């Protein structure tokens, strides 16, 4: 449904993105992540037709973004980070105006506005002035204008930024309701939200895609820490653990009442050492009460990938 192929954009001597390629399947919600200045917004603006790429191609719903931009815009709903609303207008009036701008015929506008008001839970505030609404409701109005004319594809840039926890939950439910019915690119800095809402995640850094996979695969590729509960003398346990090949730093905490030590062992290069650890502890005659891999969070993976210099 969305296909970007080797997109490159230069602004004079500055290359904002280089050879960016990815696809989004029909009905999929793709998380699009990257630090400030990584090329995320540039990529989104190319896909939405706001400006052309220097090279490469992009297709949405089968239409070329550059050569068939009118057809693309008929099938695309876009919510920028700064919501495009007129604060002095009532909600319904604004949505009718937005519908006319999107080519909805006047005879169908009332019905279409009623549909998006209901879909975005805006019926109770439909006659209120937008500028007097909470930020959560203004965000809903922005999403409502994006889904006017029932587009096949949605691109949502930071839809939950600045919202309180309840508002975030409401917007999350709204977006997750699009899964399977619409193809969505969701750009966000709130990584737990991305993990919950998106089937796959693309991470961009320094203008290049550095990873694209499911959140589960991204966080499950490496377990660079192992947590252990051991009943044994702390000094001897630490000495033995440090002597095991593949062990890096160790954090420890001892329960003085029970003598049970909790050790978090950081491995070198994500090396699998649990078998070696367990054998060493049991051979020493100590009780191994618990051992488990500590998987990195999506935030850990994001930081690791976006700090990578190569």
At 166 the pLDDT is: 86
CA–CA gap between residue 59 and residue 68 (Å, rounded): 9
The pLDDT of residue 273: 87
Alpha helices (runs of H) in 50-164, residue ranges in sequence order: 69-74, 91-101, 106-119, 135-146
pLDDT tens digits, one per residue of 22-39: 999 999 999 999 888 889
- What stretches in the chain show pLDDT beneath 70? 220-223, 270, 308-310
Domain 224-294 fold is Alpha-Beta Plaits (3.30.70)
Quick one: angle between helices 106-119 and 91-101, nearest 10?
Answer: 130
CATH 3.30.70.100 residue ranges in the chain?
Answer: 224-294
Number of H helices, E strands in the chain: 11, 14
* Residue position matching structure tokens 């090329």: 39
Distance CA 9, CA 32 (A): 18
In the chain, which segments carry CATH 3.40.50.300? Answer: 2-219
CA distance linking residue 109 with residue 99, whole number of Å: 6
Quote the CA–CA distance of 309 and 258 in Å, as a whole number. 45
Give whole-number Cα distances, 146 to 78, 100, 110, 162, 182, in Å.
5, 13, 16, 19, 12
> Half-sphere exposure (CA, 13 Å, Cβ side) for 41?
8
Q: What is the pTM of this model?
A: 0.78
Q: Are strands 247-254 and 260-267 parallel, antiparallel or unpaired?
A: antiparallel
Q: Angle 65-159-128 (CA atoms, 0-180°, nearest 5)? A: 110
- Confidence at residue 310, expressed as pLDDT on a 0 to 100 scale: 44
Closest CA to 10 of 49, 52, 44: 52
**So what's the pLDDT on residue 309?**
45
Cα–Cα distance between 173 and 170 in angstroms, integer? 5
Fold of 2-219: Rossmann fold (3.40.50)
């Amino acid at each position: 449904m969305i296909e970007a192929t080797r997109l490159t954009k230069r602004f004079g001597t500055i290359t904002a993105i280089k050879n960016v390629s990815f696809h989004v399947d029909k009905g999929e919600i793709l998380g699009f992540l990257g630090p400030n200045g990584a090329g995320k917004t540039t990529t989104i603006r190319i896909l939405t037709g706001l400006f052309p790429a220097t090279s490469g191609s992009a297709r949405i719903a089968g239409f070329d973004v550059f050569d068939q931009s009118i057809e693309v815009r008929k099938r695309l709903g876009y919510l920028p980070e700064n919501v495009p609303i007129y604060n002095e207008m009532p909600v319904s009036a604004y949505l009718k105006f937005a519908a006319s701008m999107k080519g909805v015929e006047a005879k169908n506008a009332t019905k279409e506005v009623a549909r998006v008001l209901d879909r975005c839970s805006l019926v109770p505030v439909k006659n209120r002035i937008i500028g007097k609404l909470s930020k959560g409701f203004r965000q809903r109005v922005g999403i409502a204008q994006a889904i006017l004319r029932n587009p096949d594809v949605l691109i949502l840039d930071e839809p939950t930024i600045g919202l309180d926890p309840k508002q975030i939950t409401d917007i999350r439910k709204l977006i997750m309701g699009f899964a399977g019915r619409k193809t969505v690119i969701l750009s966000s800095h709130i990584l737990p939200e991305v993990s919950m809402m998106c089937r796959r995640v693309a991470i961009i850094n320094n203008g290049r895609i550095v990873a694209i996979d499911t959140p589960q695969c991204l966080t499950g590729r490496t377990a660079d820490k192992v947590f252990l509960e051991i009943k044994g003398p702390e000094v001897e346990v630490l000495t033995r653990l440090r002597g095991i090949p593949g062990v890096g730093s160790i954090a420890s905490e001892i329960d003085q009442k029970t003598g049970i030590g909790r050790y978090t062992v950081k491995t070198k290069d994500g090396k699998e050492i649990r078998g070696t650890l367990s054998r060493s502890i049991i051979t020493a005659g100590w009780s191994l009460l618990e051992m488990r891999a500590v998987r990195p969070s999506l935030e850990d993976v994001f930081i690791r990938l976006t700090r990578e210099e190569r």
